[in-house]
Every structure is written in C-alpha cells, then in structure tokens.
C-alpha cells in the first residue's frame, strides 16, 4: 500500500528528531509521525532525552519519560471500516506515559471494531495539571503543552478525514487517568491554546464523542470541581467509568464531572464499579469492571458512532 504524501513528509521530521535517542516506537508496520510541521510550540529547554523503562505492576508496562517531540501513530481499522476515529490519550500523571497499557493495547481493541485509532504521545513531564513532589502540591503550568498537542492531533485527524476514509463528524477521544483529564479539556476548551501554524488550525478541535476512564485532576481540594472546565451544551456526548476503590484518582473525579454534564444537558453514560483500582486498562480479568469495552461498544452503537449489529 502506498503511503499518503502526508505521512512521507512527517516521517522525515520525526526520524530526524528521534535519531540516536531511545524513544518509544510502535510495533513494526506502524508509522509514528510528528504532529507539528516545524518547531514544537512553547518548547521547554531540557537536556533530558526521551527514554522508555519497563515498570512492574499490571503485568508490566512501558513507561515513557521526557517526551519533548510529540507524535501520533495511526492504526488502521481491521475488517470493515466504521468510518470513525478515536484519538487515545494514555495516562501517567502528566509525568510519564503508559504507551502500551493505555495506548497501543487500546488501539488493538478499537481497530478490531473497525475504528481508526490514533495514539498520541504528548509532551511530558509537567504537560498540564500535575502533582509536584517537591512542594507536595498541585501545579498548573501557564502553558498547557499536553492540551496543545491534543488539540493539534484532533485537528490533524479531521484534516485527513478523506485520506483516512473517515466521517469528519465521527472523531472522538478516549483517555485514562491524566489522559481522562485531557478528554475533559478537549471536550470543553475549543479555543486555540497555541499560535496557529497552518490552515489545519482553522479546523475544530472539538471531539464528536468522548470517553474518560478513571479520570484525574477534575476533583480539586475540598471536593470541588475544576473551575477551568466549563461544561456547556457544546460538550460532546460523554462516557465515564471508574472504580470506587481507585487509590490514585478518587471517584469524585467522575461524579463531579457527571453532575456538570447533567446540569448542562449533555448526554452521558456513567458506570461506577465497586472494585477495580486504578490503571487497569484492558488487563483486569478478576472484576466486573473488565466488561467496560463491551459497555463502550454498546454506547458507541447507541450514539450512532458504530453501526448496530443486524440480529
């Protein structure tokens, strides 16, 4: 299959940016491309190079650190193309990225349902709201670099809808933990968070549907909802799921967001499970929370993103 010109141009960019560095790479056959055509906006000066470490827990997962060159990897749908795309935001507290546990494994599931999957490797550390160990406090950078990367990626996918055989009105997002916070941000912040770099930035970054699993950073001190997230009728239909025993991001992250969605009249589906903990991805096989992919698929069918199976 011939590669579209779009990919050929960006392959050169990402190849030069990652030369001689231990960077995360997708499985053979997948193409990782830069999301910015030239210089990355508001880049942080750092001497640290991107690296990948294997971390124990949840069966082991790839922890990607010090990402300064954001990229996206497009996974083509398997079987019949549903004409929909989902941009995936892995978690990691805006310090690291769980690129397999909450990234490539999610794409394997989505593509099996005929959905084009776009895995975003956004900038970390300190890309957005995060916990700082030095001050033992939450910090919100003046420049939300992870959100910049997320907005740009959604616009890029929308600009290539014809090339990728997509319905430009069926481009959604899914995120986990910190990535779930990115879901809330992209679902409610539509103004450019960076200076436009080309015609692509004239397109909308609003996702058409949103899925957030065990989101973080929405529930602030005193159990209050993050004031920077202003839910309106423009917020896309949303699916929320979390375990009540989550030891990292309390369940109030989902309940407060669900209340805000309800008050704004936004269609939402919410699932709260008694057990499941945090960062289970697709790997939990012991608790009912493991049924979440089927719940998402049913929701996508009801919202018209996926075709309803013929009995």
Q: Are 84 and 305 in contact (CB under 8 A)?
A: yes
Residue 130 CA neighbour count, 13 Å, CB half: 22
What pLDDT score was predicted for residue 310? 66
Query: Residue 93: which pLDDT band, with cuts at 50, 70 and 90?
Result: very high
CA distances from 301 to 39, 47, 271, 298, 306 (A): 40, 47, 17, 5, 5
Fold of 5-39+50-302: Rossmann fold (3.40.50)
Q: Smallest Cα–Cα separation from 242: which of 198, 276, 208?
A: 276
Query: Residue 58: which pLDDT band, with cuts at 50, 70 and 90?
Result: confident
Distance CA 117, CA 124 (A): 21
pLDDT in tens, 122-181: 999 989 988 888 887 888 899 999 999 999 999 999 999 999 999 999 999 999 999 999
Is residue 309 over pLDDT 80?
no
pLDDT in tens, 257-285: 999 999 999 999 999 999 999 999 999 98
N- to C-terminal Cα distance for the chain?
A: 34
Is residue 203 over pLDDT 50?
yes
Q: Smallest Cα–Cα separation from 150: which of 71, 226, 218?
A: 71
Query: Residue 311: which pLDDT band, with cuts at 50, 70 and 90?
Result: low
In terms of C-beta density within 10 A (0-12 exposed, 13-18 middle, 19 or more buried), how is residue 7 classed? middle
Is residue 67 over pLDDT 80?
yes
Query: Residue 46: which pLDDT band, with cuts at 50, 70 and 90?
Result: confident
What pLDDT score was predicted for residue 16? 42
Residues of the chain with pLDDT > 90, as a percent, come to: 82
- Cα-only R_g, the chain: 18
Q: Please, which residues bridge with residue 268 across strands?
A: 238
Is residue 20 over pLDDT 90?
no
Full-model pTM? 0.92
CA distances from 98 to 1, 64, 150, 179, 231 (A): 30, 7, 16, 10, 28
Higher pLDDT, 20 or 249: 249
């Amino acid at each position: 299959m011939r590669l579209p010109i779009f990919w050929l141009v960006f392959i050169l960019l990402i190849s030069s940016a990652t030369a001689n560095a231990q960077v995360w790479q997708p499985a053979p056959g997948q193409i990782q491309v830069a999301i910015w055509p030239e210089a990355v906006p508001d880049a942080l000066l750092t001497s640290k190079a991107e690296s990948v470490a294997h971390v124990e827990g949840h069966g082991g997962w790839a922890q990607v650190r010090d990402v300064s060159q954001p990229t996206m990897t497009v996974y083509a749908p398997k079987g019949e193309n549903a004409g929909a795309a989902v941009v995936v935001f892995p978690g990691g507290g805006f310090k690291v990225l769980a690129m397999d546990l909450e990234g490539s494994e999610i794409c394997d599931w989505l593509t099996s349902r005929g959905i084009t999957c776009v895995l975003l490797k956004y900038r970390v550390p300190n890309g957005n709201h995060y916990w700082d160990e030095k001050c033992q406090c939450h910090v919100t950078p003046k420049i939300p670099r992870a959100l910049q990367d997320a907005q740009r990626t959604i616009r890029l996918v929308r600009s290539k809808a014809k090339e990728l055989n997509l319905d430009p009105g069926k481009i959604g997002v899914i995120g986990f933990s910190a990535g779930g916070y990115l879901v809330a941000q992209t679902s409610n912040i539509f103004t450019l968070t960076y200076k436009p770099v080309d015609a692509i930035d004239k397109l909308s970054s609003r996702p058409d549907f949103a899925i957030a699993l065990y989101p973080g950073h929405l529930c602030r001190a005193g159990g209050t909802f993050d004031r920077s997230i202003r839910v309106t009728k423009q917020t896309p239909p949303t699916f929320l799921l979390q375990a009540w025993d989550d030891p990292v991001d309390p369940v109030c992250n989902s309940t407060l967001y669900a209340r805000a969605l309800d008050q704004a009249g936004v269609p939402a589906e919410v699932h709260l499970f008694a057990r499941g903990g945090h960062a289970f991805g697709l790997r939990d096989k012991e608790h009912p929370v493991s049924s979440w992919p089927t719940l998402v698929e049913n929701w996508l069918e009801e919202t018209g993103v996926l075709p309803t199976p013929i009995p």
